[in-house]
Structures are given as C-alpha cells and as structure tokens.
Amino acid sequence: MIGIDAASLEKLWIDGQACDSQSQETYPLINPFTGQTLAQMARGGQAEALSAIAAAARAFPLWSRLPGNERANRLYKAYHLLRRYRAELEALLIEDLGKTSREAAKEVRSTGAFLRYCAEEARRIFGDFVPSPDPKKRVVVVPQPVGIVTAITASNAPGILFGRKVAPALAAGCTLIVKPAEEAARVTLLLAQLLEGAGLPHGAVNVVMGDAPAIVETLLGDPRVAMVTFTGSVQVGREVMRLAAAGPKRVVLELGGVAPFIVFADADLQAAVEGLVSAKFRHAGQICASPQRIFVEESVAEAFKSLLVERLARVKVGDPRDATTEYGPLQHQRNLQKIQRLLEDALARGARVVTGGHSPGGLLFAPTLLEGVTDEMAIAREEAFGPLIALATFRDEAEVIERSNNTAYGLGAYVYTRDLARAWRLAEALEVGIVGLNDPFPATIEGPFGGVKQSGFGLEGGRYGVEEFLLKKQISFSLA
C-alpha cells in the first residue's frame, strides 16, 4: 500500500517526486459548481518540461528493456492500486470537474479497465517472420517502443484519457511526460503516483501542468521526444501538428466532432430517446463523441419530439454531489459562452427553442433542444461541447447520409433502425471513425477509437492503441 500526501496533488510530478515550479508560481483550482477555490496548483513551464524530458530519458532504457510480462505485472499492480484509491479518484472528479457521482464511478472503472487491458497487451506484443526471396536469408520484424512520448490530455475525461494514452504507451515500453488540462491535474497526478507505487522506474511517468504554450513548445521542440498524443480542439491540434512536424514526430490527434444521431421511422422511438439522452447529456454534453445533430425521418418526427421533450423535462441538472443529479455544471465560463453564441446564431437564422435554452445559474445549463435547424447554422458545423442538440428531419436514406457527412468532422455517429441491412449500409457510408447501431455507447476498451477528417487521425484503444506506440524494425540475417 502506498501513501498519498494530499499536498503532493498540488505539485508537479517529475522523476518520481512531487515538486514546486522553479518560479514558485501557482494557479487556483476552482470547483465549477460552487466557485470555491480548492487548491493552489504549481504552475510549471519550460524549466519543468526540460526536467521531465530528462527524467523520462533516464527511465526509458530501464522500462523499455523489461520483458513484456514484467511490464504487465507492474501495470496489473497499478490497476489493483487504482481500485484501492477509487474513492479518492471519484471525489476529485466530482470536486474538480463537476462530474456526478455516477459519472465519476464509471470513469474510474474505465480507467482501471484500460490499465488491466494494457497489462494483458504488454504480454502480446509480437513480431513477424517475413518470407525472403533469397533462400540464404531470414527476415524478421521486431516491434520496439517509439521512445519518449508527450501526452496532452483534455479536462473532460482525464481518467479515461490517461487510460487511453498512458497505459498503452507503458505497455509498449515507452516513457512519458503528461501535460494535463489545468482543471484535471489532481486526477492525473494521483494516477501517476499510483503507477510509481506499482514499481515503475522514477521518471517513467511525469506530470507537468501550467504554462501550456511554454510546456508544449518545449516538449515538442526537443529531439528526445519521439511522439505526441493529443486530445483537444481542432485549433490547438493544428498547432500541435505544426510543432511536431519540425521534428518530425509521430502524432496521434483526437479532436472532437458534431456527431449525427439518425432515427428512422421503423426505430424503437422510446429506445432512441433514451439512447440520445444517455449519450448526449452525460457530463453536461462535454464529451467529444456525443451526438449533436439529430436527424429524424419526417413521418415520425413529431412523435419522436414529443417523447424527447417529455424525457428532457425529467433531466435533473444541479449539484453533482447529489446522487439524483443527471448532470452538473460546465467546466468553464468559455464553454457557457460558446453554447450561448451557438444558440443566438441559430435563433437569429430562424431556429426555435423547443425546451431549455437558459442557465439556471452559475455554469449550469438546461438541456436544450432546437428545431428548424439548417445545415448552414453554426450549431450544425461547430462542436457545442455542452447540453445543446439540434433537431432536423429527413426524407430518405440518401439525404440523411449526405447531410450527416456534410461536415468537416468525422468522429462518431449513431443510427437507430430495425432494418439490419439499412443499418449496415449507414455504418459503411458514414464518414466517421466509430458508429453506434442502436447503441448509444459504441466505444469499447478493446476496440479502436479515433476520427477522420478534422476529427484527427491515429487510434486509441485495444491492440490498435498499443501499436501506435511501437516501431517495426526489420532485421535481415544472412545464412551464407
């Protein structure tokens, strides 16, 4: 059993130690529901990023040369430590990020599942034997870790993102510097300390938060860093690509989307409504793959809308510490401002509010349904990242495919229909990385998660996520 000092969760984590920044600067961590200051967090910058790189470089030969089964054993130990500290992790997700108790518990379980799965994958990193045209040669392909990885994570799901990025990188034999969103730092720091307690070398996982431009520019400008994996906005993702290109470095980007949710006339409408509410309004809609553009076949549009309005009226928004709350606050004032901007744009262009459209106070925002939305409105083209959905109708399959694909994004999509042939046609035609057919939660730990178009590239999850952190080296041996 390891001991976690609460004060260490306010500091940087470099080379197996909690430390202040050289400048002694801090930033306030604010509870998004109460507005109270929870802690003064160390604010790192260039100097701390360089220290973290040096620590990761020292740890890399120690970690990468361990046999896969030994890396697996330590990741298993980290998983069991996480289970011991699940209450502490859940409390941080609720206090720091405004997640409900149910959301927090689910996220901690998912984080643990990623650690456990990647522990198993560490034992299954295999090479290949390649037939040679020369009978006097033998050719093999050997997987090797890419090297030091920078992981830049968003604030909406810090545990899951840690599981998707850090766990597979460690399974592959890489070491890391994690740059979390400022609001999510305490969750990330606790997870890093659990890995340390599981027997990882000092410096295998480092956490540096604070001055984001200085930290990211330093990490991506250093030739010792071989790869960056990033989750966040398209704007920042483009900057990450630009910085990484100078290396060049391997890049994985997950940049969000405006997922379509398609309901055909033959669908189970009640199931579709429940699926939509479950997929959309968890964590106040602050999920990259959550549905935003709702397309309903004309003949059942009024019936679907009626069921949806009735269900939204029962959604309880409020204190995330209340077990009956379905979702809590937005994480930032800028999130609230963006929702209000998208709402104002839609109304000015002729859309109508069916329900919601207001803030009960603070960073809370009521579940909001718009109708009369056209494909030209900002709500149809920009990620809302909040509890705002736009309802539109369609006449036939060809139309809804075209309109669903008429976006710069391509992360997720949802289709509700009882026609299996149609479901399969839609799944193949939609330009996205993941599709839920009558399923509001299509992402799995074992499968690949990633987007196309401006939703990014590269994969997280399953063996596919581990492979992103591996090089394939060919070795040719002459028998002559």
Mean pLDDT of 37-41: 98
Whether 1 shows a pLDDT value over 60: the answer reads no
Is 288 one of the catalytic residues?
yes
For the CA atoms of the chain, what is the radius of gyration? 23
Q: Could you tell me if 2 and 199 are in contact, meaning their C-beta atoms sit under 8 angstroms apart?
A: no
Whether 116 shows a pLDDT value over 60: the answer reads yes
Q: What's the CA gap between 92 and 189, in Å, rounded?
A: 11
Mean pLDDT of 78-89: 98
Residue 3 pLDDT class (50, 70, 90 cuts): confident
Whether 25 shows a pLDDT value over 50: the answer reads yes
pLDDT tens digits, one per residue of 269-317: 999 999 999 999 999 999 999 999 999 999 999 999 999 999 999 999 9
pLDDT tens digits, one per residue of 372-389: 999 999 999 999 999 999
Q: Which of 95, 121, 182, 254 is catalytic?
A: 254
Whether 366 shows a pLDDT value over 50: the answer reads yes
Whether 173 shows a pLDDT value over 70: the answer reads yes
Whether 168 shows a pLDDT value over 90: the answer reads yes
Q: Could you tell me if 49 and 218 are in contact, meaning their C-beta atoms sit under 8 angstroms apart?
A: yes
Q: What's the CA gap between 17 and 75, in Å, rounded?
A: 19
Q: What's the CA gap between 95 and 357, in Å, rounded?
A: 26
Q: What's the CA gap between 48 and 479, in Å, rounded?
A: 50
Cis peptide bond prior to 248, omega within 30° of 0: yes
Q: Residue 34 has what pLDDT?
A: 98
Q: Which of 288, 326, 371, 383 is catalytic?
A: 288
Give 413's strand partners: 435
Please tell me whether the overall predicted TM-score, pTM, comes out greater than 0.85 for this model. Answer: yes
Give the amino acid at 43: R
Whether 251 shows a pLDDT value over 80: the answer reads yes
Tell me what the pLDDT averaged over the chain comes to: 97
**Short-list 362, 370, 388, CA closest to 258:** 388
**Which whole-number Å values give the CA distances from 262 to 103, 301, 307, 479, in the listed order?**
25, 11, 16, 60
pLDDT tens digits, one per residue of 312-349: 999 999 999 999 999 999 999 999 999 999 999 999 99
Mean pLDDT of 188-216: 98
Q: Could you tell me if 9 and 38 are in contact, meaning their C-beta atoms sit under 8 angstroms apart?
A: no
Residue 9 pLDDT class (50, 70, 90 cuts): very high
Q: Residue 318 has what pLDDT?
A: 97
Q: What's the CA gap between 234 and 212, in Å, rounded?
A: 16
CATH class of 259-408+412-444: alpha beta
Residue 35 pLDDT class (50, 70, 90 cuts): very high
Whether 402 shows a pLDDT value over 50: the answer reads yes
Is 118 one of the catalytic residues?
no
Domains of the chain, by residue range, sit at 6-256+455-476, 259-408+412-444
pLDDT tens digits, one per residue of 443-467: 999 999 999 999 999 999 999 999 9
Q: Residue 480 has what pLDDT?
A: 87
CATH class of 6-256+455-476: alpha beta
CA atoms within 13 A on the CB side of 132: 15
